[in-house]
Amino acid sequence: MLGGYVKRILYVDLTSGKMSEKEPEEFLLKRFIGGSGLGAKYLFEGTGPATDPLGPENILIFMTGPLTGTKVPLSSRYEVISKSPLTGIYGESDSGGSWGSELKKAGFDGIMIRGRASKPTYLWINEGQAELRSADHLWGLDTYSVEDIVKNETDKRAVVACIGPAGEKLARIAAIINDGKHGRAAARCGLGAVMGSKHLKAIVVRGTKEIEVANSEALERSVKELAPSILDKARNMHDYGTSGGMTAMEYLGDLPIKNWQLGSWEDGAEKISGQTMAKTILSGRYYCRGCIIGCGREVKFDSAKYGKVDGAGPEYETLAMLGSNCLVDDLEALAKANDLCNRYGLDTISTGAAIAFAMEAYERGLITVDETEGNPLTWGNPDALIELIHKIGRREGLGWLLGEGVKRASEKIGGLSIEFAIHVKGLELPAHDPRAYYSQGLSYAVSNRGACHLQSLSHIFERNVILKSFGYWTIQDRHGVEGKGELVVKAQNLMCMMDSLKVCKFILFGGVEPPQLVDWLNWVTGMDMSLEDFMRTGERIYNLKRLYNIREGLSRKDDVLPPRILTHRRGKGGSAYNLPPLGELLAQYYECRGWDEMGIPRPEKILELGLEHEASFLQESKRRRNNSST
Amino acid sequence: MLGGYVKRILYVDLTSGKMSEKEPEEFLLKRFIGGSGLGAKYLFEGTGPATDPLGPENILIFMTGPLTGTKVPLSSRYEVISKSPLTGIYGESDSGGSWGSELKKAGFDGIMIRGRASKPTYLWINEGQAELRSADHLWGLDTYSVEDIVKNETDKRAVVACIGPAGEKLARIAAIINDGKHGRAAARCGLGAVMGSKHLKAIVVRGTKEIEVANSEALERSVKELAPSILDKARNMHDYGTSGGMTAMEYLGDLPIKNWQLGSWEDGAEKISGQTMAKTILSGRYYCRGCIIGCGREVKFDSAKYGKVDGAGPEYETLAMLGSNCLVDDLEALAKANDLCNRYGLDTISTGAAIAFAMEAYERGLITVDETEGNPLTWGNPDALIELIHKIGRREGLGWLLGEGVKRASEKIGGLSIEFAIHVKGLELPAHDPRAYYSQGLSYAVSNRGACHLQSLSHIFERNVILKSFGYWTIQDRHGVEGKGELVVKAQNLMCMMDSLKVCKFILFGGVEPPQLVDWLNWVTGMDMSLEDFMRTGERIYNLKRLYNIREGLSRKDDVLPPRILTHRRGKGGSAYNLPPLGELLAQYYECRGWDEMGIPRPEKILELGLEHEASFLQESKRRRNNSST
């Protein structure tokens, strides 16, 4: 019997309103762990090329991991897995707060949602019991209001994950928001729109069940021992949050500026940094449940221009994508913009990308003044920024188009706009520039969910984190090429495990190395994994997601970077002349992955990972042939 | 009055059967010279995005240059310009032989053909008079037969350019063949299909007019003086033809092998080399009119397997694309294959590429045994090669699909086949590997007609030609990156001039430098160009073609290389581990071209080249906007 799991998955069919439970098979838990890994396996079996991401046949999976809700620090996270309406391929997104651990305490490792409710609905899970309720009165409301109302009608101590108007209206950049005005978000890949397509407004959870752990003594001793040094090492995250590194990012040429065109924005970066926030609008720090670092920001102000804001403050990604990337340096405007994104239920990364894209299209005459309805989309204009977020959230006018994401928006606008729609596989780039960290160039190109820094987080090994247990005794040269394929492979496999366990990746900033994670997993579950088993499991999960995408028709041709990132020199700053040599990086990567030159796992690799069953479609598709062509 | 031109362009409207003549404006001749440059200008004005390449509205332009038919050595060439049915963008293709100079002696600098004849037709131009004749009796015949028949019914001394069955049946890889069994071909870009779409089977020319030259004394003295050294330096070309370098290409990793997968094929290269040909099937050398090198091959044999072949022998490109790239090392088979391509009227480069593509698709199970109708498409199978050429030429079965070119074929077959369809912008790569010569990687990516080595010929400056007048005092490092953007820009501008003058590019192997070309142009025409004017004119022509393609919707996103070339290491041979760093090369190139980061000429560059009128659409398209999207 494995510890760490409650061994119950809730199955919800919204079309029929029927619910049931199943115990996840133990061999699946050992092979795919939980969280992202187990979710990927379920999604792989339950969906495919014929699945419309916004159709009732898509599955929306909420998953915790074995560490969720245990005494492992930074472990109150959950993962949402579904076929993405933004990218059309494998999608996943994770979030912190307290919702993940509350779900587990309420008696479920995860929830599998199929179908489409005939009218707005929410799911109420209370101490092992699940119930579908009408959400007629919630439809159209913003995420913060929803939380207040449903807590009133369920339990004041309940935790809510829900969508705002953007998700209801199927914006492909819509997020799922949890923990209300603390603004935690499973934001990437547009999974809020999947929830909206199912007419599911919220999932409300309440539970007090204790999570059984195989060796709680060893776990607690280790956590107690490590906690001070974790906090000490991650002190800057505590003090200044994720945007504490803003000026450093700018200095290194890592910060996206003016839709990824410029290399330097010194004064601006200072103005929107975590340090400036701490001196001005910061009202407190937010700790996800069980966290000892507290990187979350709380802000409070009442400005003549933007009104009152009191709640979650903006993260680095938000400040960079809505701020520097749009040349907006007004911190209050950005805090307001962040607040609006949380309320409408929007991914701040994709939203910032879409607005920067629109500003460039406007400058180039591809979006007319008429379409902006009087608020000129000029660079650095905070009023235009805020106005456009309202429009995206409500899906009005130009906002409708931008809510489709930059790939679709550029295809509609046409012409040169395709050249400055900065995405990979349809997912907008997050706020780390591949020209500053070559490993991220490779990561963005190959990441299973499209352009993503979190699926490898490899740039931290090129900046300030040394991973001795992987044989990296120094910081890697960020503009170096040698060994980068291997670095990204290792980092991705590790991230697959962290997304499956689930534990916050920021624990790496606290000096925790992978062998420690293996110990924690073993102590929680009673497994006896070696570091090698652990990393092999991560590799299995990574390859499974790749197989999902290959089945959707992806191959090496899709492992690309936007032309601007490949060929446009930023001209100034810490990465003024650097361009990531993608071909070389990919060649290393495929070799290191054991994939063929087309990005398909070789038969030996499939066998080594025990994915023969999942990969059997590769043989079938060989025999398939479009006969209409001859 | 400019020398070198006869100052008459023949306008043919095949729909109405009407013909007229116009004198080309002198300012156009000065700005665009002739050949490719003048043709590009006419095509730019007469066609556009709405033009269907195979519709009657497309224009098929045959152009000579001011040097054509003069005493300038290697100058009996002509250029065909049209919107390409293979790539859908600017298309051009040139050829030697005697047709170009004969057209000029017949009294025309060029021919502009519009419309579509109601039935098969040929054009007979005799000493300044033009006449359309029925080609009913020629339709369906191969190119060699056509020549025999039309010479009989016009003039034994007439010269013929015509299409074979492939062009009639609109194969997008169909060529225009001239000088009959000497097998000269304007082969690239599928312009044979444009001729077929117009129901124009042949253009037959006969003339004896002397070309007036401004300073014949200086010209003749110079030619007399230089001839011995040209011949001496290009001796290897004379002795062994273009395939005299076959084993060297293999050694350097330049030869495409097994659809661009392998790096080494020693025995094979030796077997199909020009040296082996000289010892076996070679029966003579062919000199285009006015040539002193004689790189053309004539072969003669009668084999039990392939029957009798007596005529044009295969070039390097043909031997590489149909030979090494398909792993076929049987020289007689390749000579037969070449003969068939000439007769059917097929581009041997694109045909070889299509067959190598099909062999790989067959190996991967994407083409079934049924589709090959009993002749297994195994690598190195000469019978399959020959059988498939028949099928492509006749457009039967699988041959129909392959005649569409590898881009369309891969889109129809689908799946992974897109990964090994080796083309840029729809034009199949010629037989020089960008992994062996980085400058060619850049050239292929940006070339206006798609993947083409001749539009820069830059690899010769990385191999054996030193261009002192351009400041290159040594051979450039073929795997070096620095300065490659500039090298390609200079080489392309020079090639634009050579394609417009028209003079054979092989004169560079004879040690002729650009200042010599300027002198010849000035002596022929009476112009007073400096080297700078000359190169600026080339730059104008290059940018005009780019503008044509931008108007068609192309930009930086289309300046790519096939994934295999970017990420697949050949593993063996002289370029075993090299991959061209395309992003870096493009960045240099755009900068050097004075284009913006999206590959669009900047306003200053437009002004500098006097292309304001041609570039005015750039302003208009800014104001265009697809309103259906909001």
Q: Are A43 and A548 in contact (CB under 8 A)?
A: yes
Burial class (CB in 10 A: 0-12, 13-18, 19+), A208: exposed
Euclidean distance between CA atoms B566 and A486, whole angstroms: 19
Check the CA dihedral A402-A405-A408-A411 and report its sign. Answer: positive
> What's the CA gap between A181 and A69, in Å, rounded?
21
What residues of A are in contact with residue B566 (Cβ under 8 Å)?
A: 582-583, 586
Write out the E strands in B304-369.
Answer: 307-312
Could you say which DSSP state residue B181 is in? G
What is this model's ipTM? 0.93
* pLDDT on residue A622: 60
Residues in contact with B514: Cβ distance below 8 Å, sequence separation at least 6, in sequence order: B467, B469, B470, B494, B497, B531, B534, B535
- B27 neighbors B532 (Cβ within 8 angstroms): no
Cβ of residue A624 closer than 8 Å to a chain B Cβ: yes
Instruction: Tell me the C-alpha distance between B77 and B211, whole Å.
Output: 15
The reply to whether residue A568 touches residue B587, judged by beta carbons under 8 angstroms, is yes
For residues B247 and B323, is the Cβ–Cβ distance under 8 A? no
pLDDT at B622: 60
Instruction: For chain A, say whether B398 makes contact (Cβ under 8 Å).
Output: yes
| Residues in chain A within 8 Å Cβ distance of B418 | 555, 557
- How wide is the angle at C-alpha B263 spanned by C-alphas B259 and B269, nearest 5°? 85
Report the residue count for chain B.
Answer: 630
- Does the beta carbon of A629 lie under 8 angstroms from any beta carbon of chain B? yes
Residues with Cβ within 8 Å of residue A169, at least 6 apart in sequence = A196, A394, A395, A403
Strand partners, B205: B125, B159
Chain B residue numbers touching A621 (CB-CB < 8 A): 415
Q: Do B567 and A553 touch (CB under 8 A)?
A: no
Please answer yes or no on whether B563 and A580 come within 8 Å at the CB atom. no
Residue of B nearest to A371 (CA): B630
Ranges of chain A with pLDDT below 70: 621-630
Residues of B whose CB is below 8 A from A397: 630
Residue A451 dihedral angles phi and psi, to the nearest 5° = -55, 115
Closest CA to A342 of A181, A173, A140, A196: A181
First to last CA, chain B: 57
- Determine the distance in angstroms separating the CA of A580 from the nearest CA of chain B, rounded to an integer: 8
Confirm or reject contact between B57 and chain A (CB < 8 A).
no
Place of tokens 């490719």: B36
Chain B residues close to A391, C-beta within 8 Å: none
Beta pairing partners, A200: A121
Q: B366 in contact with A at a CB cutoff of 8 Å?
A: yes
Contacts of B258 in chain A (CB under 8 A): none
Q: How far apart are CA A62 and CA A40, in angstroms?
A: 11
- Interchain contact B389–A (C-beta under 8 A): no
> How far is CA A173 from its chain centroid?
12
Whether residue A365 and residue B398 make contact (CB cut-off 8 A), yes or no, is: no
**Average per-residue pLDDT for chain A:** 96
What global pTM score does this model have? Answer: 0.95
Which A residues 413-432 touch B at CB under 8 Å?
413-416, 418-420
CB neighbours of residue A118 within 10 Å: 10
Instruction: Give the neighbor-by-neighbor strand order of the sheet with A176-178.
Output: A129-134, A121-126, A200-206, A159-162, A176-178, A184-186
Whether B233 contacts B510, CB under 8 Å: yes
B564/A629 touch (CB, cutoff 8 Å), yes or no? no
Q: How far is A204 from chain B (nearest CA, A)?
A: 35
* Strand-by-strand arrangement of the B296-303 sheet: B282-286, B296-303, B307-312
Residue ranges, chain B, pLDDT below 70: 621-630
Report the residue of A416, A555, A557, A621 to disrupt the B interface, i.e. the one with the largest count of B CBs within 10 Å.
A416
Q: Do A567 and B587 touch (CB under 8 A)?
A: yes
Asked if the Cβ–Cβ distance from B581 to A583 is below 8 Å, we say: yes
Q: How far apart are CA B194 and CA B400, in angstroms?
A: 17
Instruction: Classify residue A303 by burial, with Cβ atoms within 10 Å: 0-12, 13-18, 19+.
Output: middle
What distance in Å separates residue B442's CA from the closest CA in chain A?
A: 12
Which chain A positions have a beta carbon within 8 Å of B571's beta carbon? none
Q: Is A366 on the interface with B (CB under 8 A)?
A: yes
Alpha helices in B187-282 (DSSP H): 191-197, 216-233, 235-240, 246-252, 266-271, 274-279
Contact A116, A56 (CB under 8 A): yes
Task: Give the DSSP H/E element, type plus range, for residue A92.
Answer: strand A90-95
Rounded Cα distance between B215 and B217, Å, is 5
- Number of H helices and E strands in chain B, helices first, is 25, 17
Chain B residues touching residue A597 (CB < 8 angstroms): 564, 567-568
For residue A333 the two structure tokens come to 């405007």
CA dist B228 and B208 (Å) reads: 28
A218 touching chain B per CB within 8 A: no
Task: Report the C-alpha gap between B436 and A198 in whole angstroms.
Answer: 54
- Whether residue B365 and residue A418 make contact (CB cut-off 8 A), yes or no, is no
B392: nearest Cα among B358, B420, B428, B351: B351
* Subunit contact B623:A365, Cβ cutoff 8 A: yes
Cα–Cα distance between B365 and A437 in angstroms, integer? Answer: 40
**How far off is chain B from A588, nearest CA to CA, in Å?**
9
Burial of B414 (0-12, 13-18, 19+ CB in 10 A): middle
Give residue A621's pLDDT: 61
* Cβ contact, residue pair A597, B564, below 8 Å: yes
| CB-CB under 8 Å, A580 with B581 | no
Which secondary structure element, helix H or strand E, spans residue A93, and what is its range? strand A90-95
CA atoms of B299 and B321, how far apart (whole Å) = 19
Answer yes or no: do B583 and A587 touch at CB < 8 A: no
Mutate which of B371, B410, B630 to disrupt the A interface (most A C-beta within 10 Å)? B630
Closest partner residue to A400 among B582, B623, B630, by Cβ? B630
Of B365, B416, B581, nearest to A555 by CB-CB distance is B416
Which residues are bridge partners to B112 per DSSP? Answer: B11, B61
| Contact (CB, 8 A) for A104 and A75 | no
Residue of B nearest to A399 (CA): B630
Write phi, then psi, for A234 (nearest 5 degrees). -100, 25
Cα B146 from Cα B201, distance rounded (Å): 9
- Token pair listed for A548: 């999902």
Q: Are B100 and B64 in contact (CB under 8 A)?
A: yes
Decide if A516 contacts A222 (C-beta within 8 A): yes
Taking an 8 Å cut-off on Cβ atoms, the answer to whether A418 and B583 are in contact is no
pLDDT of A362: 95
Per-residue model confidence (pLDDT) at position A626: 40
CA distance A400 to chain B (A): 7
Contact A257, A324 (CB under 8 A): yes
Chain B residues within an 8 Å CB radius of A418: 555, 557
Report the distance separating Cα A352 and Cα A324, nearest Å: 10
Could you tell me which of A351, A422, A357 has the C-alpha nearest to residue A389?
A351
pLDDT recorded at residue A628: 36
Return d(Cα B625, Cα A415) in angstroms, integer.
9
* Residue A591 to residue A594: CA distance in whole angstroms: 5
With an 8 Å Cβ cutoff, is B308 touching chain A? no
Count interface pairs A-B at CB distance under 8 A. Answer: 117
